Amino acid sequence: MENLLEIKNLHATIDGKEILKGINLTVKAGEVHAIMGPNGSGKSTLSNVLVGHPAYTVTEGEIIYKGKNLLELAPEDRSHEGLFLSFQYPVEIPGVSITNFMRAAVNAKRQYQGQEPMNATEFLKMMREKRAMVNLDSKLANRSVNEGFSGGEKKRNEIFQMAMLEPTLSILDETDSGLDIDALRIVAEGVNKLKRDDTSSIVITHYQRLLDYIKPDIVHILYNGRIVKTAGPELVMELEERGYDWIKNEN
């Protein structure tokens, strides 16, 4: 299998403070990776750096995605190249309906790929299909993006957008946080339905419960800005039993 994403010796800072201190990670097409770790270990920083959040500065290292230097791409171009982040805290955009928002996003991507914008009928049909896929209430689609949504609705909306944009590499940042078990199941099922043989995911989580539904191929433990352990799915169980303290003690 070819390498979809290759992170080499990645260092990143925010407000002058170094958070990532040399990350190495390779994701091949079709793989599901889980990144686990205690709070403050740099999990969210890693996902934000991957999608090019302007608050973070990469000070060293490189990221190769689909053979391209990812760090040179604008955030919207990374999106067009199939990189999707399900935000830990999805942002509210008052007055902008999900329908309009998604139309802008889908057409921007089509333009990037040299395609004509989608016509309204086609687009609405696609909306309907994808909505059904993640059980998103049709009423939500007419509401402003994330405004007044419950925690579960926000996360479901993220997965719905993922379905619309059909990413090659999706990053789920703490998608399980703030969800009850039913909502968690619906979200996870959505993610699984969207999985294709050639698409990959990075699932970032503190707990094992999301990984009961989304089965990772490879599990990493991130601690203090570095990946300190990489193993198969069995590592999840071990963490569940032993907590993070032994990791902290070993490092």
Partner 1 sequence: MKKDNILKKLANKAYEFGFVSKIKTEIIEQGLNEDIIRLISKKKNEPEWLLEFRLESYRYWQTLEMPEWAHLSIPPIDYQAISYYADPLKKNKENKNKEIDPELMKTFEKLGIPLEERLALSGTAVDAVMDSVSVKTTFKEELREKGIIFCSMSEAVQEYPDLVRKHLGSVVNYRDNFFAALNSAVFSDGSFVYIPKGVRCPMELSTYFRINAANTGQFERTLIVADDDSYVSYLEGCTAPMRDENQLHAAIVEIVVNDNAEVKYSTVQNWYPGDAEGKGGVYNFVTKRGDCRGRGSKLSWTQVETGSAITWKYPSCILRGDNSQGEFYSVALTNNYQQADTGTKMIHLGKNTRSTIISKGISAGKSQNSYRGLVRVSKNADGARNYSQCDSLLLGSECGAHTFPYMDIHNNSAVIEHEATTSKISEEQLFYCNQRGIGTEEAIGLIVNGYAKEVLNKLPMEFAIEAQKLLSVSLEGAVG
Binding to partner 1 (CB under 8 A) within 30-69 occurs at: 51-55
Q: Could you tell me the maximum CA-CA distance found in the chain, to the nearest angstrom?
A: 58
Instruction: Give me the helices (H) in 90-150, please.
Output: 98-112, 120-133, 138-141
Q: Which helix (H) or strand (E) holds 12?
A: strand 3-14
Going edge to edge, which strands form the sheet with 3-14?
Answer: 17-28, 3-14, 56-65, 68-69
- Shorter beta-carbon distance to partner 1: residue 87 or 223: 87
Among 57, 104, 117, 132, binds partner 1 (CB under 8 A): 104
Query: Interface with partner 1 includes 117 (CB under 8 A)?
Result: no
> Quick check: 90 and 155 in contact, CB under 8 A?
yes
Q: From CA 171, how far away is CA 175, in angstroms rounded? A: 9
- Shorter beta-carbon distance to partner 1: residue 147 or 217: 147
Least spacing, CB of residue 160 vs partner 1, in Å: 12
Query: Interface with partner 1 includes 236 (CB under 8 A)?
Result: no
Query: Interface with partner 1 includes 98 (CB under 8 A)?
Result: no
Least spacing, CB of residue 243 vs partner 1, in Å: 32
SS3 assignment, position 178? coil
Least spacing, CB of residue 80 vs partner 1, in Å: 5
Query: Interface with partner 1 includes 144 (CB under 8 A)?
Result: yes
Query: Interface with partner 1 includes 120 (CB under 8 A)?
Result: no
Using CB under 8 A, which of the segments 3-11, 63-71, 91-99, 192-200 binds partner 1?
A: 91-99
Q: What is the per-residue burial (b if ≥16 Cβ within 10 Å, else e) of 91-103?
A: eeeeeebbeebbb
Query: Interface with partner 1 includes 163 (CB under 8 A)?
Result: no
Number of residues that bind partner 1 (CB under 8 A): 33
Using CB under 8 A, which of the segments 4-12, 14-22, 80-88, 119-127 binds partner 1?
A: 80-88
Among 62, 72, 76, 129, binds partner 1 (CB under 8 A): 76
- Shorter beta-carbon distance to partner 1: residue 112 or 246: 112
Q: From CA 63, how far away is CA 82, in angstroms rounded? A: 15
> Quick check: 134 and 160 in contact, CB under 8 A?
yes
189 token code pair: 């099922």
Using CB under 8 A, which of the segments 16-24, 61-69, 108-116, 218-226 binds partner 1?
A: 108-116
Pairs from 179-183 (Cβ < 8 Å, separation ≥ 24): 179/151, 179/152, 179/155, 180/152, 181/209, 183/151, 183/152, 183/155, 183/156
Task: Give the residues lining the site for partner 1 (CB under 8 A).
Answer: 51-55, 74-76, 78-80, 84-85, 87, 90-97, 100-102, 104-105, 108-109, 112, 144, 161, 165
